[in-house]
Amino acid sequence: MRSRELQCVPVRSRASYELQLSRRLGPTSGWFRDEPSPGGRAGTVSAVDLYDAIRRRRDTRAEFTGEPLDDEVLTRVLSAAHSAPSVGMSQPWDFVLVRDPAKLDAFHEHVATEREVFAASLDGERASTFGGIKIEGIRESGLGVVVGYDPTRGGDNVLGRHAIADAGLYSVCLAIQNLWLAATAEGLGVGWVSFYREEFLSGLVGFPEQIRPVAWLCLGTVAGLPDVPDLERFGWRHRSPLESVLHEDSWSH
C-alpha cells in the first residue's frame, strides 16, 4: 500500500468531469463531496472510500430494517447505476421500482417455491448447510429494483456488439455493480435474488417481450453489514485468493 498522501484526488484537477456529471445526473448526484471525507479534506474524492465500499459490499438478506429510503439517496444510487459504461453507449438497462406489497408478497412466494426446488437437488452436508441460509430479503427491504436488459436499445448496429452478442448483457451487470457500490457507500444494503423464473418476473412487472429480467435487487436501509459474507459464514463456500485465478500471458501460467 502506498502512503496516505495518494489517497485523495483534488476535484479541481477534474473540474470539467464534474461539470459533465452534474449536467448528466443533476444537482443531487452526490458524486463530489462538499464536506470532508474521512481522512480527507473538503473538495476531495478519497480513493479509500472506493476501496472501502468494495471491501464492505455484501449480498444482504437478514439485515434490512424496512425503513423507507430518502428520495435523494435513492436518486443518487440509481444515477450511479445509470452512469455505468455500456457497449456502444447503448445504456440497455431499465429499472422498475417495486414497492407494492402485493407484488412483494407474490415474488416472495415464487422465490420460496424455487428455493424448495433447489433444496430438493441437495443431500447430506450440502442440504444441511443450505437449510440455514437465508436467500432473500424481499419483504424486509420493502423495495425491489428489477433490472432489465433491452437488446434493442441503440438500434440494429450497436457499436462493439457485432462480434460479442452478450456485450449488452455485460453492460447491464456493470450498472448493477455501480448501484451496489453506491448503495454500500450510502450505508445501504443490496441483495441480488436469483431464485426465480424469468417469465414469472417479466409478467410481474410487465416487461415487454424484448426485455430480459436480469436481477431483482432488494435495496434498503440496514442495521449493519456483516464482516463475513453469509455463504462463507455458513460454510457454503470460501473466498479464493487472487493468486488462484491470476495468470501471465496464458491460462497455463
Q: Which three cell numbers stand for residue 102?
A: 402485493
| pLDDT of residue 75 exceeding 80 | yes
CA of residue 127 relative to chain centroid, distance: 28
15-19, 164-168, 185-189, 229-233: range with lowest mean pLDDT: 15-19
Say whether pLDDT at 52 is over 70. yes
pLDDT at res. 38 = 44
Greatest Cα-to-Cα distance within the chain, rounded to the nearest angstrom: 59
Work out the percent of the chain whose per-residue pLDDT is above 90. 80
Q: CA 58, CA 45: separation in Å to the nearest integer? A: 23
128-149 tens-digit pLDDT: 999 999 999 999 999 999 999 9
In tens, the pLDDT along 197-206 reads 999 999 999 9
- Residue 48 has a pLDDT of 73
Is the pLDDT assigned to residue 21 strictly greater than 80?
Answer: no
CA distance 202 to 171: 20
**For residue 47, what pLDDT is reported?**
76
Give me the chain's average pLDDT, please: 86
Residue 164's pLDDT band (cuts 50, 70, 90): very high
pLDDT value for 121: 98
Residues 6+ apart with CB under 8 A from 180: 57, 190, 217
CB 90 within 8 A of CB 188: no
pLDDT at 3: 34
∠ CA 97-102-103, rounded to 5°:
40
The domain defined by 56-236 carries CATH number 1.10.760.10? no
pLDDT at position 29 over 90: no
Residues of the chain with CATH 3.40.109.10: 56-236
